[in-house]
Amino acid sequence: MSEANKEKFKFELLMLEVLEAHPKGITARELTQAIRKLAEERRLEELINSPENNLKRRVERNLKKLKATYGDLIDLNDLQKPYIWSCVGSQSLIPNLFKADLQLALYLHLHQQRTLQLLPSNLQEKLRKLNAFGSFNLEAHFSELTQLFSRALSITKDSIHPEFPPVLEEVHQTLLDALKNEQYLDITYQALAGEQKLSRLLPLKLVVLKDRLFLLAVQKSASEPEPVLLALHRMASANQVGLYLNLSEFEAETTLRKMLGTGASSQKLELQVTAELADYLLDYPLGIGMKLTPLAETTSPYTHQLTCWIELGTDFKYWLTQHQNQLKVMGSERVIRWLKRLERG
């Protein structure tokens, strides 16, 4: 979605929010004033700086668009001047905006699921219970707290990876349509050696890995069909090329676990780590039930003993590669055998 379309979409959401907050109806001028007030509370500079008459004309244009979109669900009382606009019925109109937009629905779902994962476990259940009562407007329910957070909370970007690689909108839409309509795909993929043409891919599902979006698919053109994991941002083109019948041997979750090496039982891990890595692990704990114990003073570069339970898979392999000069593997024979297999390739 382009920046201009995002801004238009946000403005329509803002208008619906104000309309739903005034069940007895509201005039276009009152609606304009309410939107300006919300813009000031939420620091929406473009709306704050818009001249009053320009903003009112925009509101009037969008009221007509919303009326055309929602029909009888938005009422126009034109028997008096100025006209009165209102929402009809008790059901919120806002979720209806998402129904026809697969991309938007996907990212809203990802946003919700990712936020849940980042919460401490004791708060996850609270949020689930809150969501069980249906959709709610954060600012409407917790206005005083959200105003505090707007002043007292900053969310910083990753300075090493500040930008996510862009995904072509037409590629993104094609993948979502193919998953929805059960279609094979032909994809042009960016590899180090240049563009690759991947034909007759059977899409299984989208996967979030390391905060990047991938497509899990089966390459049917190969002599032996095999699963592949393809980054969306490396796709130069994608085309649907006919209906498919899913193959039972490539059930999505089972295939993904085999590819990533996850889903196996956790293994006890014992490491000796440097002071620098130990300090890092206080912010980013490893595995489940991690414990750090100081070692007796020694000439060794390692200052702490780490114990935890962890799944031996791709993610752990990647973590070991990143920190290999800051640790020494101890303990479990199974973990040591697994590491030796990795070294042999």
Contact 75, 24 (CB under 8 A): no
- Give the residue numbers spanning the domain of 69: 3-98
Q: What is the pLDDT of residue 174?
A: 92
Nearest partner of 27 among 99, 80, 70, 68, judged by Cα: 80
pLDDT digits (tens, 9 = 90+) for 267-306: 888 999 999 999 999 999 998 889 999 998 778 899 999 9
Q: What is the pLDDT of residue 133?
A: 46
Beta strands in the chain (DSSP E): 74-77, 84-87, 183-191, 194-209, 212-219, 226-231, 235-243, 267-273, 288-294, 304-310, 327-330
Q: What is the pLDDT of residue 233?
A: 93
Rounded CA-CA distance 270/28 in Å is 66
DSSP H helices, 224-301, are 252-260, 275-283
| Domain end call among 77, 98, 119 | 98
- In this structure, the answer to whether residues 123 and 195 fall within a common structural domain is no
- Is there a domain that residue 157 lies in? no
- In this structure, the answer to whether residues 179 and 141 fall within a common structural domain is no
Rounded CA-CA distance 76/84 in Å is 6
The residues of the chain scoring below 50 in pLDDT are: 1, 133-135
- Is there a domain that residue 158 lies in? no
- Is there a domain that residue 213 lies in? yes
User: Would you tell me how many other CB atoms lie within 10 Å of the CB of residue 34?
Assistant: 19
For residue 191, what are its two tokens?
């590899």
Contact 117, 208 (CB under 8 A): no
Instruction: Return the half-sphere exposure (C-beta side, CA atoms, 13 A cut-off) of residue 197.
Output: 1
- In this structure, the answer to whether residues 222 and 309 fall within a common structural domain is no
- In this structure, the answer to whether residues 248 and 206 fall within a common structural domain is yes
- Is there a domain that residue 163 lies in? no
Total count of domains within the chain: 4
- In this structure, the answer to whether residues 220 and 299 fall within a common structural domain is no
- In this structure, the answer to whether residues 108 and 94 fall within a common structural domain is no
- Is there a domain that residue 46 lies in? yes
Q: Which helix (H) or strand (E) holds 15?
A: helix 3-20
Contact 268, 331 (CB under 8 A): yes
Residues in a beta bridge with 319: none
- In this structure, the answer to whether residues 12 and 28 fall within a common structural domain is yes
The pTM of the whole model exceeds 0.85: no
- Is there a domain that residue 162 lies in? no
- In this structure, the answer to whether residues 8 and 83 fall within a common structural domain is yes
Q: Is the peptide bond before 82 cis (omega within 30 degrees of 0)?
A: yes
- In this structure, the answer to whether residues 34 and 74 fall within a common structural domain is yes
- Is there a domain that residue 159 lies in? no
Q: What is the CATH number of the domain that holds 173?
A: 2.30.30
Nearest partner of 18 among 8, 7, 9, 28, judged by Cα: 28
- In this structure, the answer to whether residues 328 and 310 fall within a common structural domain is yes
Chain length of the chain:
345
- Is there a domain that residue 143 lies in? yes
